Structure 1
Amino acid sequence: MADGIEWGPADRAAGVNRLSPLRFVMAFGVVSMLADVVYEGARSITGPYLGTLGASAALVGFVTGAGEAVALVFRLVTGTLSDRTGRHWALSIAGYTLTVVSVPLLALATWLWPAAGLVVAERFGKAVRAPARDTMLAQAAGSGIGRGRAFAVHEALDQSGALLGPLLVAGMIALSGFRLAFAVLAIPGALALLTLAWLRRAAPRPVAYETDHHDAGTTVRADGRLPGRFWLYAAFTATSMAGFATFGVLSFHLQARHVLPDSLIPVTYAAAMGAAALAALASGHLYDRIGLRGLVIALPLSAVVPLLSFSTHAGPVWAGAIVWGAAMGIHESTLRAAVADMVPAARRGTGYGVFTAVYGLAWLAGSTLIGVLYGHSVTAVVVFTLATQSIALMLFVPLAFGRPSRRRPRRQPSSSSR
């Protein structure tokens, strides 16, 4: 029995979901939490590790930016594939598998380019799974629990893994160095795949959550085309991300300038992920209450990052990590929730793919340029960041204060609270 419903072999054969929508979101959050222990633990030391293999700041910016671009741009393909085939579970499982296999293999990489290839491969795994996963989360959110709330709960659980992973890595570095840190991440990776397999059996048809609630989640174009408002939203996000440094560049600075010991660098990333989890919950609540206007805080947070994170003193660097994490938490939760409300339900995978591809390319270009500018002057990085966030604000104003971007259906209690 689950959620007060008898669930037997006949139900399993018919593909009946035995989890309430909220519990489905939370369970997927646990999968993401375990996966985040793996790849966020690795990302917390990617910059310093590539540095030990001979990479420069510009190359670290390029590799980490390329990884993020791959994770985002290839969703143009995987998002459309998700919509056309409807095989959301298969794509999710394949993507998680690629990620949790690639990271431990970094323990065996002794040359720069194989290591860089594994960094990119890990991000490609995210490209494969993310549109399908986000589509299933949007379907569960369509049951009436609220899109902001659903994505915020998922992101908060996700980021708890991002907090634990860097702490685990820091301990392994203190014991033995980078290679043991990467190798031990195979354990949470295996647990993530086992949990995902269980969730697949427990909720085989997430689309039923939304169809049972009679909510397509959007009132945009009936012809299935992506609306103009969506494209303006993608442009705003891309502009903001162009001035948002990857943590690889920030952590490279910490090692290259000897601001913190190597073992403390992943701890700053853990602090960032803790801030991300809290920011996701807060911004998700605001989004459900006041819509896009609540997202404006992401812009000043992004603008402040280089002023703090490229300092040579420990105090500002720790503050910068928290600010960076808070901005990232908003980017990866509430900004995703808004996409589900701007595109037709049948095109959500495509919408997510296009949206993330656009700002992924911007992040690649921006992170590479930030790495180059860092090699010349931190002041240049600050000026570039302020300029991009100012332009993003100009794009944001018509989005937030123009006509309402989404219908707000009357909230219904979820089955877990009945």
Structure 2
Amino acid sequence: MAKTVAVKTSALQFVILIGIVSLFADMTYEGARSITGPYLAVLGASATVVGLVAAFGELVGYGLRLVSGYISDRTGRYWTVTVAGYVVNMLAVPLLALAGRWEVAAVLMIVERMGKAIRNPPRDAMLSHATKEMGRGWGFGLHEALDQIGAVLGPLTVTAVLYFEGSYQTGFAVLLVPALLALSVLLVARLLHPRPRDLEAISPEIEAKGFPRKYWIYLAAAALIAAGYADFPLIAYHFEKASVVSGNWIPVFYAVAMGVDALAALIFGRLFDRVGLSILIVVSALSAFFAPLVFLENFYLGLVGMGLWGVGMGAQESIMRAAIAGMVPTNRRGSAYGIFNSAYGVFWFLGSALMGILYDISIPSLIAFSVASQLAALPLLVLIKKRFV
């Protein structure tokens, strides 16, 4: 009994430490991403270059997740790969302050995305061990909540710097502080928990070389949800173009969504531990209808729509990740998260590109695609629940 309590306490400590790392990490790169577009413009880059750099960085990142997850499982060096990814991810941001040319800034932006791609699969695999005793939904939900706090604080910090100082370079330089804090807490977590796998009692596994059928069905469902989920820049573009809200209100709408995201991750994470995949089915059905609300030209409906958008994001970043841990062999979780993150990211990218095109052609068509793609995932999730859970 005492040993069980000690393991649960240690697991909670590990999740909180990694959550704090994510908080400071999100402060760093989300703060940077809020100004990289205008920064490239100031350095002389065209709009085409800005778009290509962002797209290329994401695509490279998606591919690297496959490699990172595979290497982590193959070598067993989850900490080594995670730390290496965080170092690259964190240090690339403040170095943007020294970029005197847009070409240099573009390379650093791509390097930052590469660092994030390297660290995510092994980090999630380690989290999956720690969350077994405390409840995977609650563990991943707690991590996501801390992550989102940083996602809000980062842009606010940069906004304050620009307000008082007015320099993009200073904004990037200030982000060195949360970057170093993230790396410091990460090293503390590494020292206190050198073997996160020991936090989970490993039972003998028959299917240890590949992935079961339910994983691939689940991956297809996640890809459909990702494809239909409109990215916030497109939503913000619509708010501005259609004069749904003034420019000053757009960050407020985003902050509301991020706040709902954090709260939803905690609530739905706890519910996932009690009722399982059913909660993901319910949330996916509910959040699918954010699109009609945000793309209608009404202030209050737009606000409600952003709340639903945040609900969906909270579920995707917590219970969607938590469910994977129970579907795949322990020694293949790094690869499982790598494949999942890559597929999710690629379909998000493709869906976002298609919705951008549809926006210029027909907003009702955009809404129809968004809702239909997400609802198409529901039968697959129901199939998993009925036949495999």
- Shorter chain as normaliser: what TM range? 0.7 to 0.9
* CA distance, structure 2, for counterparts of residue 23 and residue 363 of structure 1: 33
Work out which of the residue numbers 216, 219, 233 in structure 2 matches 1:231: 216
CA shift for structure 1 position 111:
6.7
> Is 2:208–2:332's contact at 8 Å kept on the other side of the alignment?
no
Residue 158 (structure 1) aligned to one of 134, 147, 171: 147
Kindly indicate whether the alpha-carbon contact (under 8 Å) linking 2:64 and 2:114 is maintained by their aligned counterparts in 1. yes
Where 1:20 maps in the other structure, the secondary structure is helix
CA-CA distance at 1:84 after TM superposition: 1.1
Look up the SS of the partner of 1:74 in the other structure: helix
Instruction: Specify which of 223, 226, 230 is matched with residue 241 of structure 1.
Output: 226
Task: Tell me: higher relative CO, structure 1 or 2? Use CA pairs within 8 A at least 6 residues apart.
Answer: 1
Q: How does 1:164-175 map to 2 (within 5 A)?
A: 164-175=153-164
In structure 1, distance between residues paired with 2:286 and 2:31: 23
Alpha-carbon distance in 2 for matches of 1:361, 1:345: 25
Q: Deviations over 1:10-42 (max 9, x none)?
A: xxxxxxx99711111111111111101112223
Alignment of 1:296-335 (within 5 A): 296-311=281-296, 314-335=299-320
Confirm or deny that 1:215 pairs with 2:205. Answer: no
Equivalent in 109, 117, 124 of residue 134 of structure 1: 124
Distance 1:341 1:278, change over 3 A: same
Identity of aligned residues (%): 43
1:246 and 1:118 map into 2 onto residues whose CA distance is: 23
Alpha-carbon distance in 1 for matches of 2:360, 2:385: 37
User: Does the C-alpha gap of structure 1 residues 389 and 312 become closer, same or farther in structure 2, counting only changes over 3 Å?
Assistant: same
Please give the TM-score of this superposition, normalised by the length of structure 2: 0.86
Count of matched residue pairs: 382
2:67 matched residue in structure 1: 77
Evaluate the alpha carbon distance shift between residue 272 and residue 177 of structure 1 in structure 2; reply closer, same or farther with a 3 A threshold. Answer: farther
2:193 counterpart of 1:203:
yes
Per the normalisation by structure 1, the TM-score is 0.81
Q: Deviations over 1:250-286 (max 9, x none)?
A: 3344455666566654443332221111111111112
Separation (CA, whole Å) in 2 of partners of 1:158 and 1:347: 25
1:376, distance to aligned residue in structure 2 (A): 2.8
- CA deviation after TM superposition for structure 1 residue 73, in Å: 3.3
In 2, distance between residues paired with 1:398 and 1:315?
36
- Of 302-311 and 281-290, more deviation after overlay is shown by 302-311
* Alignment check: 8 A CA contact 1:45 1:248 kept: no
| Distance in 2 (alpha carbons) for counterparts of 1:64 and 1:260 | 26
**Deviation, structure 1 residue 66:** 4.9
Cα pair 2:91 2:176 within 8 Å, conserved: yes
The structure that is helix-richer by fraction is 2
What is the Cα deviation at residue 98 of structure 1?
A: 1.8
**Aligned pairs (5 A) from 1:17-416:** 20-45=10-35, 54-55=46-47, 60=51, 64=54, 66-107=56-97, 115-142=105-132, 144-175=133-164, 176=166, 178-210=168-200, 214-216=201-203, 221-254=206-239, 265-311=250-296, 314-404=299-389
Letter in 2 for 1:238: A
Asked whether the 8 Å contact 2:8–2:134 carries over to 1, the reply is no
| Partners of 1:66 and 1:261 in 2: CA distance | 31
| CA RMSD after TM alignment | 3.1
**Deviation (angstroms), 1:402:** 2.7
Question: Mind listing any 5+ residue stretches in structure 2 that lack a counterpart?
Answer: none
